[in-house]
Amino acid sequence: MRCISSFLIFLLVLNTYSSAQSPLDKLTYTVGRPYPVVDAVEKLYFTHGTEMMSIKWTRKEIIVQKFNLKTMAQTGTKSFKPTPAGGAPETFYQIKDKFYYFYSTYKKSENITELKAKEIDFKTGSISETERLVLSIPGGANSMNSIFNSVTRFRFTTSYDSTKVLIRYEKGEHQINEAGFMGKEFNMTSVGLCIMNPDLTEMWKQEVEMPGSDKKRRVEIMSYTLSNEGQVFILSRVFEDESGKIKKGKNEAANYHLEVWMAKSGSNTFVQNSINVADNHITRARLFGVQDGVVGAGFYCKVINMDNKRGIGEQNADGIYAFKADKSGKLENMVYHEIPLEILNMYSSKSDQQKNNKENKNAEFENMELDRLHVAADGSITLIGEQISSVSTYQSQGGYTSTNYFCKDILVSKINADGSLAWMKRLPKRQEGTNLALMSYFYDYNSATSSHILLFLDNEKNKTLEVDKVPSTLNATGGGYLTAYSVNEESGEISKKYLFDVRNVKGIVAAQFSTDRIEASGNDDYVIEVYKKDKEDVLIKLSMKN
């Protein structure tokens, strides 16, 4: 077993950070003119050319704001009635250059669920008064999760080329959980799949029978996607016993296999193909539809580490994996790449490094979540994952439970089209707090600079962080420095830049700063809406242009 010294880690990171020109070298920011704040349950942002549209939903109204991204000023605002009586909001959604407000209704006497839509005119910021029936579901559709403080029954997925949208609903006894998974016990009878064009004309629609939908077959839906050709792919974990639980013993082989299900026009059954996971447990997974099929990728944990006392095996990662399936559903072999010990030891305490360096090590990335999956035109795959955990404490005096969140380092990895590992990088970040919206990060693949851009709030003490030191934690209570990482798509070289303290952005306090309120404009710019106090919001624009 290799023992990695701090000096070797230093050399590794020194070679990682770019000395050449970085897209962050030109990154600047400007602050727009303040405008009246809109308090809302949900805030969504859409950009087109030099304009941005904000949609803010309250129980009493829907507010649509328009902005000019050149002047950074609000150009108009309109108010509309909320969902019609008896309806529940589903989502505001963009399909290519079309924008819609989707909502559902349920006719109890007829047991029919209906999905309806109103088109949003981006230019004028107006929601059409014309109501359009999109889907009518005899027998009703299952409840899925809560959004806008109501229940939704439909899920939406756009194809990679944005020319098609999958609208999905479930039928049967089981209800999908908040994460969007059917769960490990699954009595679904069928899934409704409807593929539509951007103008909501139907391409094909089918209620497809779920494979083995009985109580003896335990299935966990891990991910689903839509290919450019209009095929639906689902990745599922199928248990080979009736436990419905992953065995965690050190010497236990996986008690499940993976299956990729594919549905297409004209068929009411899935094409099923199995993947043997061998001695690796799949902990996180995501599918991504492409022109000629689908790619899948995520994290795995070795069997030997499933009972690791340093963490819960199901939440940890020993490495990354990837596979591909063609448009017929035929699978290529799964490829695995272990996370190197050098990466695991970076930005870690000496005690953790010593544990990692043991001969019979249980070294792994703890609490890894898979956040993004980027597939390039050449078929290469980039995975972006983050260490996220939480601790809940019951407060007996007040009779409530408080939750503290921990958002830590980011792992960015690229797998070449032939399955080989191109590079793997660790980006240090430590955040802690009770408001998850103030933590984590914003991600965008910037095609103009061929780089992965990540924005987050950091502790200013990390400006001069040495590679063998543990980063200082940012207590997410409203402060911190907006920080940018750039990771070159080809080489994996990393650049980092500190932009501003959110407590003083050219004299403005950017209160309630959240990465959820960052939007890519499509012009190499990023726009952030923040509350500046005094009942006013303001836009901040980040630009990588001269």
Write the pLDDT tens digit of every residue in 15-64. Answer: 455 545 788 998 999 999 999 999 988 899 999 989 999 999 888 899 99
Are residues 120 and 92 in contact, defined by beta-carbon separation less than 8 angstroms? Answer: yes
Cβ-contact 535, 545 below 8 angstroms? no
Residue 350 has pLDDT above 90, yes or no: no
pLDDT at 458 > cutoff 80: yes
Q: Decide if pLDDT at 176 tops 60.
A: no
Whether residue 127 contacts residue 80, with contact meaning beta carbons closer than 8 Å, is answered with yes
Mean pLDDT of the chain: 85
Q: What pLDDT is stored for residue 171 in this prediction?
A: 80
d(C-alpha 291, C-alpha 221), whole Å:
23
Q: Which residues pair with 508 in a beta bridge?
A: 505
Lowest-pLDDT range of 145-149, 192-196, 364-368: 145-149
Handedness of CA 63, 69, 70, 71 (dihedral sign): positive
Alpha carbons 104 and 148: distance in angstroms, whole number: 13
C-beta atoms surrounding 351 within 10 Å: 8
pLDDT of residue 150: 63
Which pLDDT tens digit goes with each residue over 129-169?
Answer: 999 999 999 988 888 765 555 678 899 999 988 999 999 99
Residue scoring higher pLDDT (111 or 180): 111
Token output for 217: 């077959």
- Tell me which of 202 and 333 has the higher pLDDT: 202
pLDDT at 546: 58
Q: What is the pLDDT of residue 248?
A: 65
Which of 126-130, 212-216, 335-339, 407-411 is the least confident region?
212-216
Query: Is the pLDDT score of 426 beyond 90?
Result: yes
Give the pLDDT band of residue 180 (cuts 50, 70, 90). very low
How far is it, in rounded angstroms, from Cα 323 to Cα 288? 11
Paired strand residues for 280: 302
- The rounded distance, in Å, linking the Cα atoms of 68 and 50 is 6
User: Is the per-residue pLDDT at 249 higher than 70?
Assistant: no
Does the structure show a pLDDT above 50 at 10? no
